[in-house]
Chains A and B, each alone.
Chain A
Amino acid sequence: MENHTHIRVRELSVYYGREQALKNISVDIPEKRITAIIGPSGCGKTTLLKSFNRLIDSIDGVRVSGEISMNGDNIFNPKIDVTLLRKKMGLLSQRPHPLPMSIYDNVAYGPRIHGIRKKRKLDQIVEHYLKESSLWEEVRDRLHTPASGLSVGQQQRLCLARGLAVEPEIILGDEPTSALDPTASQRIEEKFLQLKARYTIVVVTHILRQAVRLADYVVFLYLGELIEHGPAEEVFKSPKKELTQGYIKGVIV
């Protein structure tokens, strides 16, 4: 099975003011696989994830050095249009944050801001992606009610539909199940396993078992440094570094 690199990270360092959050990271994220970024909290997992769609830009006093390229283009190139870059990636955050509007408008938000105005086309998109995230049956009768009325699990699936509706190539998940109950988490995980046939998925998680269940490829960060990365099987079964062994055994939390 051949592995194409989708996101190439080279010597990436990120500083918040004087603090260095990421230290010289180089890693390749394979296409159409699930990559799990694991490590104890505060180790820079989320920073790495948000570097991919340059959401770290809006943090005050942030500095970045190094390179991230997607399909060969450097995303830190100042000429690049950030909005188009972000359109290529759907983000699922720790807890679902539905936009302050109806279920329908949440899914239609992305297509609309990118210029789709026709009602029929939007209707199709909304239905398609709500089905894609297995939410359609539950909400088809109340599409125009506020999204905040959904349960947390439903909201997270809505956020997934919202993210898919801009037709991204990559799905980024920042501990996407941490606010959900076990059943709702399971549904999201199942969704990921189905979606990886068509999307590259990067998931940050601090739940080791989740990483084991989902990941094809694993990146282990510790205190801003990349300790180990490789195919999931290798990393989990025979970690090369002592820190990784410790983390997997549960010694380092």
Chain B
Amino acid sequence: MQKLQIIQDRVARQVMFALAAFAGLIVFLMAFGLFVRSRPILESFPLFELLSSSSWHPLKGEFGLFPFLLGTLWVTGVSIVVAVPFSLLCAIHLSEYATRRICEWVKPLIDLLAGIPSVVYGICGVLIIVPLIKNHLAPLFGTFSTGYTVLAGGLVLAVMVFPIIIHVALEVFSSVPYEVREASLALGATKWQTVKLVVLRKAMPGIIAAIVLGISRAFGETMAVLMVAGNVARVPKSVFDPAYPLPALIANNYGEMMSVPLYDSALLLASLVLLLVVVFFNILSRFVLIHVEKGIQ
């Protein structure tokens, strides 16, 4: 009886170890799987040409990803420019100024914002932001626009990125010891001076990590952007131009990709590029965050 239990225990240990190892390896498996599938196109064209060519004509066998890369960069850039000031101000407000009662109200709402599915964001983008740009913002700047633009994609993404930056920034702020704030206050600094000169300074690496996590989220977000960015395979020249971000490209063409030679390989290469960029950003910011956390103990 005793022996059986010990054997059970040992088997369980092996199984658990194997599962943990599997979980740890998923990222690598993904990269490997996508790489294997994108090899056909990498063998047909040099990688540099694929990434730098602007001509995307799958039927003619031309797979230039440049417009899509730039589309992603534009949309991500706009979203970060909008999201960073708002999220940081909000995070500072919650961590340094707001009473506990306000925090208890606001934080769950921000969590809720994080839980809203991206199609719902997309719908709201189509219903609110796209008309706003078409009817008000574009005329204001003297241009015509359908509303389905870089700006629309960026604004929708910004709202989706708020919760991530706020969440990570709050954790970073809470890791700044209270006594450092106290030291500054005791010298007669105002609260804002303390925040600006001490808290933000101490939290800077963590804040950058928060922003990078936000960027990587925006970089890979698919459905919401797909619905509002316009999807025209041309390099955007202004925020009122349509964009065709990489994730949108992948999602939009799953239907026909098996019937055109190399098409599937091109799309899986696009996924691989997306994966590698996002993983790079994530590793970077996680390292910083681990460092920040250790610095406290």
Please tell me whether chains A and B touch each other in their complex, using a CB distance cut-off of 8 A: yes
Residues on A facing B (Cβ under 8 Å): 53, 55, 58, 60-61, 83-87, 89-91, 93, 95, 97, 99-101, 109-110, 113-114, 159, 162-163, 166, 172
User: Beyond A113-B187, A163-B186: 8 further Cβ-contacts under 8 Å?
Assistant: A53-B186, A87-B187, A90-B186, A90-B187, A97-B179, A110-B188, A113-B188, A166-B187
Which 5 A-B pairs give the minimum distances between C-beta atoms? Answer: A87-B188, A91-B186, A110-B187, A100-B202, A83-B188
Cβ of B184 < 8 Å from any Cβ of A?
Answer: yes
B99-117 vs A, CB cutoff 8 Å, 1 = contact: the mask equals 1100000000000000000
Which of B182, B183, B186 gathers the greatest number of chain A CB atoms within 10 Å? B186
Contact across chains for A113 and B197 when beta carbons are under 8 A apart: yes
Cβ of B52 < 8 Å from any Cβ of A?
Answer: no
Q: Do A100 and B201 form a contact, CB below 8 Å, given A55-B182, A60-B99, A91-B182?
A: yes
Contact across chains for A89 and B183 when beta carbons are under 8 A apart: no
Q: What's the minimum C-beta distance from B105 to chain A, rounded to whole angstroms? A: 15
Query: In whole angstroms, what is the CA distance A87 to B184 when docked?
Result: 10
Contact across chains for B197 and A109 when beta carbons are under 8 A apart: yes
Listed by A's residue number, 14 A-B pairs whose Cβ atoms lie within 8 Å are A58-B181, A58-B185, A60-B100, A61-B100, A83-B188, A83-B190, A85-B188, A93-B183, A110-B188, A110-B189, A113-B190, A162-B183, A166-B187, A166-B188
Which residues of A sit under 8 angstroms from B179, Cβ to Cβ? Answer: 93, 95, 97
Contact across chains for A86 and B201 when beta carbons are under 8 A apart: no
Contact across chains for B188 and A114 when beta carbons are under 8 A apart: yes
Query: In whole angstroms, what is the CA distance A109 to B69 when docked?
Result: 45
Contact across chains for B180 and A97 when beta carbons are under 8 A apart: yes
Q: Do A55 and B188 form a contact, CB below 8 Å, given A100-B180, A113-B197?
A: no
Contact with A93, one of B182, B188, B190, B202 (Cβ below 8 angstroms): B182
Query: In whole angstroms, what is the CA distance A101 to B177 when docked?
Result: 15
Contact across chains for B180 and A99 when beta carbons are under 8 A apart: yes
Which residues of A sit under 8 angstroms from B188, Cβ to Cβ? Answer: 83-87, 110, 113-114, 166
Q: What's the minimum C-beta distance from A71 to chain B, rounded to whole angstroms? A: 17
Q: What's the minimum C-beta distance from A168 to chain B, rounded to whole angstroms? A: 9
Which residues of B sit under 8 angstroms from A100, Cβ to Cβ? Answer: 180, 198, 201-202
Cβ of B146 < 8 Å from any Cβ of A?
Answer: no
The residue of chain B having its C-beta at the shortest distance from the C-beta of A162 within the complex is B187
Q: Do A113 and B183 form a contact, CB below 8 Å, given A60-B100, A100-B201, A100-B202?
A: no
The residue of chain B having its C-beta at the shortest distance from the C-beta of A93 within the complex is B179
Contact across chains for B180 and A86 when beta carbons are under 8 A apart: no
B154-198 vs A, CB cutoff 8 Å, 1 = contact: the mask equals 000000000000000000000001011111111111100100011
Which residues of A sit under 8 angstroms from B189, Cβ to Cβ? Answer: 83, 109-110, 113
Which residues of B sit under 8 angstroms from A159, Cβ to Cβ? Answer: 183
Which residues of B sit under 8 angstroms from A84, Cβ to Cβ? Answer: 188
The residue of chain A having its C-beta at the shortest distance from the C-beta of B196 within the complex is A113
Q: What's the minimum C-beta distance from B179 to chain A, rounded to whole angstroms? A: 4
The residue of chain A having its C-beta at the shortest distance from the C-beta of B187 within the complex is A110
Query: In whole angstroms, what is the CA distance A61 to B104 when docked?
Result: 14
Query: In whole angstroms, what is the CA distance A83 to B190 when docked?
Result: 6
Contact across chains for A97 and B185 when beta carbons are under 8 A apart: no
Query: In whole angstroms, what is the CA distance A200 to B239 when docked?
Result: 63
Contact across chains for B180 and A55 when beta carbons are under 8 A apart: no
Which residues of B sit under 8 angstroms from A163, Cβ to Cβ? Answer: 186-187
The residue of chain A having its C-beta at the shortest distance from the C-beta of B177 within the complex is A97
Contact across chains for B186 and A99 when beta carbons are under 8 A apart: no
Q: What's the minimum C-beta distance from B262 to chain A, rounded to whole angstroms? A: 53
Contact across chains for B100 and A55 when beta carbons are under 8 A apart: no
The residue of chain B having its C-beta at the shortest distance from the C-beta of A166 within the complex is B187
The residue of chain B having its C-beta at the shortest distance from the C-beta of A86 within the complex is B188
Contact across chains for A101 and B182 when beta carbons are under 8 A apart: no
Query: In whole angstroms, what is the CA distance A67 to B291 when docked?
Result: 45
Query: In whole angstroms, what is the CA distance A213 to B4 when docked?
Result: 68
Query: In whole angstroms, what is the CA distance A53 to B183 when docked?
Result: 12
Q: What's the minimum C-beta distance from B9 to chain A, rounded to whole angstroms? A: 45
Contact across chains for A91 and B202 when beta carbons are under 8 A apart: no
Contact with B186, one of A86, A95, A114 (Cβ below 8 angstroms): A86
The residue of chain A having its C-beta at the shortest distance from the C-beta of B204 within the complex is A100
Contact across chains for A101 and B185 when beta carbons are under 8 A apart: no
Which residues of B sit under 8 angstroms from A55, Cβ to Cβ? Answer: 182, 185-186
**Contact residues of B between 54 and 85, Cβ < 8 Å to A:** none
Query: In whole angstroms, what is the CA distance A89 to B183 when docked?
Result: 11
Q: What's the minimum C-beta distance from A89 to chain B, rounded to whole angstroms? A: 7
